[in-house]
Amino acid sequence: VYYTPINDGHNWTNVSVNNLPGNANLSSIQTFQEKLYVVTTDEQIYFSSDGITWNKDSALSDNGIETLIAGFPDAIAGIKNENGIRKFCITANQNFSEWKTGGEVPAKFLSKDISSTVYKTKTGNWKAFMVADISNESDVKPIYTIPWFSVDGKRWTAADSPILDDNDNYGCPYLRQPSIIYYNDKFYVFGKNFDCFYISPEGLTWSRVEKKALFPKHFEGMSNYSMVVDKNNFIWIIWGKEGEVWRGRINKLGFKTI
C-alpha cells in the first residue's frame, strides 16, 4: 500500500500491509468511527486504524456478510446471506458485537463496487445515499444511475427521479463505476468517463454541472479509479494504472469561517 500526508499528495511511501487476507474485497471498504472495515469472500470482517495493520473482528465475522454498504455515525450497514436470502443488516449493540437483520434486498438493488455517502438532514437525522456498478450491463441496458437511500441501514429505497418524457426528465444519466458524495450541501455524482459532475439538492432530481466544478480534459479515457473526500474538502482521485493522483475542491470551501 502507498500513503501520503493529507497536506502533501506528491510524496508517497510504499509499505507492506499486515494481516489483510488476499481474498479481501477491497471494493467493500467502508469508514466507520476513524477505522476502515472490509469483508472477505469467506464472510470475515477485518478493520484497521491506518490501512496498514489489519485485525479480524471476530464478533462481526462468520455471519454471512457479503458486503458493506455505508458507515453511519453509530453503525455499519451491510448485506448478509441468511439461509439463501439476501437481507440488509446493520451492526447492533453499543459494542457493535452483532448484526441486526432488516428487510430483504430487492432484485434491482446493486451491490458491485458500492460508493456511499452519509449526511445529516435539516431535521438532524442521519441519512445514507449509495450508488453502485452494474455487473450485467449488456442485459439490463441501463438508462439512468439511480441512487438508493436509507435512514437506518435496515431498509433501502430507490431515489427514482420523476420522468416526464424523453426530452424532459430529472434523472442522472447512466454512469459506469459511479461515485456519490455529499459536498457543498449538495449531492454530486460522476463516473469513470469523467465528462462532468451531476448535481442534486436532495438526491432525487439531477442536472449537469456546466461551470465552476469541472473535470480537466486530461481525465477523459483514464482507467478505473479510487476517490475520497478529505476533512479539508479536497476531492482526491487516484488512478493506479496511470500512476496519477489529482485533487481539487470548490474554492469557497477552502476559506475558514470566522
Q: What is the CATH number of the domain that holds 115?
A: 2.120.10
C-alpha 234, offset from chain centre:
16
Mean pLDDT, the chain, integer: 92
Condensed to tens digits (0 to 9), the pLDDT of residues 193-237 reads 999 999 999 999 999 999 888 999 999 888 789 999 999 999 999
Domain assignment present for 125: yes
Q: CA–CA separation, 62 vs 165, rounded Å?
A: 48
Domain assignment present for 84: yes
DSSP-assigned letter for residue 50: S
Length reported for the chain:
258
Domain assignment present for 117: yes
Contact 178, 190 (CB under 8 A): yes
> Residue 186 is part of which domain span?
2-213
pLDDT band at 71 (very low <50, low <70, confident <90, very high): very high
Domain assignment present for 62: yes
Q: CA–CA separation, 238 vs 224, rounded Å?
A: 9
- Name residue 202's amino acid: E
Place of cell 467493500: 28
Domain assignment present for 258: no
Number of domains in the chain: 1
pTM as predicted: 0.93
Condensed to tens digits (0 to 9), the pLDDT of residues 149-198 reads 999 999 999 998 666 566 667 889 999 999 999 999 999 999 999 999 99
Reduced to 3 states, what is the DSSP secondary structure of residue 138?
A: helix
Residue 164: the pLDDT is 57
- Name residue 166's amino acid: D
What percentage of the chain reaches a pLDDT higher than 90?
A: 79
What percentage of the chain reaches a pLDDT higher than 70?
A: 96
Q: CA–CA separation, 193 vs 198, rounded Å?
A: 13
Domain assignment present for 242: no
Neighbours of 128 (CB within 10 A): 22
Residue 141 pLDDT greater than 90, yes or no: no
Domain assignment present for 237: no
Q: CA–CA separation, 74 vs 77, rounded Å?
A: 10
Q: Which three cell numbers, joined as nine digits, stand for 26?
A: 477491497
Domain assignment present for 220: no
Q: Which three cell numbers, joined as nine digits, stand for 213?
A: 466544478
Q: CA–CA separation, 203 vs 160, rounded Å?
A: 9
